[in-house]
Chains A and B, each alone.
Chain A
Amino acid sequence: MSAIGVLLWVIAAYYAVGVLVAIRFVLVVAPRADPAYRGAPWRVRLLFFPGAVAVWPVTFRIARFAGKDGMGDEHES
């Protein structure tokens, strides 16, 4: 396989993992982290899905942080 072929597989793998992380993010993490998100309708929540796929390492890290330190509660106060 050529170098470009390997690169394309790496990109595909990145976004495949991103889809999995984004599903959890949209359903679980974002409602905990942002009170304004909870009031948003579903079509608006779906709008955030591509962003969660694109920057999944960041959302994954924030999700871990939120799970340990209860970030959602902090934001609610």
Chain B
Amino acid sequence: MREYRRLARLACKGQAMTNSYTWVQWNSHKKRYDTVLAACCLLYIIVFVGMSYVVHQGEHALSIMVVLIRAFSTLAIVLLHIILCIGPMSRFTSLVSPLLYNRRHLGVTMFVAALIHSGLVILYYGGFGIRAPLPAVVDGYASFATISGFPFEIFGLAALLILFTMAATSHDFWLAFLSARSWKILHMMIYPCYGLIVLHVFFGILQSEQHPLYGRMMILGVGLVTTLHLVAGLAERKRDAQGLAADSNWVDIGEVTNFQEGCGAVICLRDQERVAVFRHGDGLSALSNVCAHQGGPLGEGQIVDGCVTCPWHGYQYLPGNGQSPPPYHEKVPTYELRIDGTRVMLNPVPNEPGLAVKAALIPAGNETGDA
């Protein structure tokens, strides 16, 4: 896994950062990932259709259109659950790194599955009447007074529009244009979208389907997503609460020998942004732990070719000034460090992004932190 992350970083170097735009920022890893993803989706559809014919026979037999509608909807829901679980799981294991690294591709695939589901629904249920297909589906048999007659399609439509917005703005161009903060807020819409999809399922298929499998799977999924987010959130909160108190000018962040050559270390400061500290040669440098690209944890990355490299998408920064090497323009805040004897001291006040700071030189005899 560590090897994968190293190769992924090297492979995406020079492609992930925003100097020019390409259709899809493919590299050998992403191509392999997308091929596997497409194969898995196709396999899922084939297995779902096959299983449906086995389970629903005789008078319960379903038409191929209904089976496909269900196949693509469940595929989208499975992908959505994977997407939502990646973030919290990455807090506990690096096994999900390949998924985290390619989460946007997973998201766009999920949108395509949801779009095919919607297209099939509109074609099958609304395509042959005298009304326009979409109003016929969404408004056709609406009855707000009953649960079984509630127009659940409206939840699905709202979720689809959110997914469309997220997929359409998933390119790095939009990240640069909207700013990382706005882009992040926009893409946090995945959570309301998830809520809408749960409602869509509850008021839709769960009202008509007699088999308990769909209901159980949905409860399991919601429980898994909720539990993972709660556990990860509490763990992060505990980590921050145990962080160093930054109530003085300089904070003791540990022995010099604790910092390994070329590797990052995340320093938690109470009520403040985390700091990434890197040892490079005989010096130590500190940057904000938050990557300017998508907020990736820089302190969990490494130094590659003399640059601090984000483990998520390979964005790079010079350790001395927090600036991306030319021709890129990304910057992160820097911090001052000094060494008192064998202890490393951090000034918890962040500098302006991109401000050059001298590395704290490690005294001779303290070079035992090699990786």
By a beta-carbon cutoff of 8 Å, the part of chain A in contact with chain B is: 2, 4-5, 7-8, 11, 30, 33-34, 36-37, 39-40, 43-44, 47-48, 50-51, 53-55, 58-59, 62
Contacts and interface: CB of A to CB of B under 8 A. Distances in A.
A44 B171 CA distance: 10
A48 B173 CA distance: 8
A51 B21 contact: no
Contacts of A51: 165, 168-169, 171, 173-174
| Closest 9 pairs (CB-CB, A-B) | A50-B168, A51-B168, A54-B165, A40-B21, A51-B169, A4-B139, A54-B168, A39-B20, A36-B20
A66 to B, nearest CB: 11
Given A4-B138, A36-B18, A55 B154 contact: no
B41 interface: no
A33 B173 CA distance: 11
B171 A47 contact: yes
B139 A33 contact: no
B354 to A, nearest CB: 14
B20 A11 contact: no
B222 to A, nearest CB: 26
A5 B135 contact: yes
12 contacts: A2-B139, A2-B142, A11-B157, A11-B161, A36-B21, A44-B21, A44-B22, A50-B164, A51-B174, A58-B178, A58-B182, A59-B177
B116 interface: no
Contacts of B138: 4, 8
Given A5-B135, A48-B173, 5 more contacts: A37-B173, A40-B20, A40-B21, A44-B21, A54-B169
A55 B173 contact: no
Interface string B147-165: 0000100100100010011
A8 B134 contact: yes
Interface in B194-210: none
Nearest to B153: A4
B19 interface: yes
Contacts of B23: 43-44, 47
Given A40-B20, A44-B23, A55-B186, A8 B168 contact: no
A50 B171 CA distance: 11
Contact of A36 (B139, B176, B178, B186): B176
Contacts of A58: 178, 182
A34 B142 contact: no
A7 to B, nearest CB: 7
Nearest to B154: A4
B231 to A, nearest CB: 33
Given A34-B177, A50-B164, A4 B151 contact: yes
B69 to A, nearest CB: 21
Contact of B142 (A4, A37, A53, A55): A4
A44 B186 CA distance: 22
A54 B174 CA distance: 12
A2 B151 CA distance: 12
B196 to A, nearest CB: 14
A8 B177 CA distance: 29
Given A48-B173, A51-B168, A7 B154 contact: yes
